[in-house]
Amino acid sequence: MFDKDKMLQLCNDWSKNTLMETLEIEYIDAGEDFLTAKMPVNSRVHQPMGLLHGGASVALAESVGSAASLLFVNPEKSEVRGIEISANHLKAKRDGMVYATAKIVHKGRSIHLWEIRITDESNNLVSLCKLTNMILPRKVR
């Protein structure tokens, strides 16, 4: 049975001491087929022209899409690896907050395909991304 609070706690706990923490990504909503996170837009994620850096958007998208694959696997038995990502940046953003929602497009045993929509506070589309994840057996360390 899906436990939204447990999923959000897991994702936020795994983000400690990682790029997600550096970018201040916070997982804020989850369902049986989606995961949403937010990221502040400030000078830490700007490119030289003072706009949200496309690389920061892609990092947000891959973080959310990879974490979303945990909805469908047992993290004690499987590991998720992003193997391909594409992004179309459609709207500039200087400040405020962006929200990334990953929704499943294809859920196979070894491949997950996600669509990640990054929007602003007014739900305007900032970037549209597609992420392919490979699901691997977890290796004992």
List residues with catalytic annotation: 62
Specify the DSSP class assigned to residue 70. G
Q: How far is CA 44 from the centre of its chain?
A: 18
**Which of 110, 115, 23 has its CA nearest to residue 65?**
115
Q: Which residues of 105-124 are buried (b: 16+ CB within 10 A; e: fewer)?
A: eeeeeeebebbbbbbbeeee
Using alpha carbons only, what angle is made at residue 23 by residues 17 and 28, rounded to the nearest 5 degrees? 90
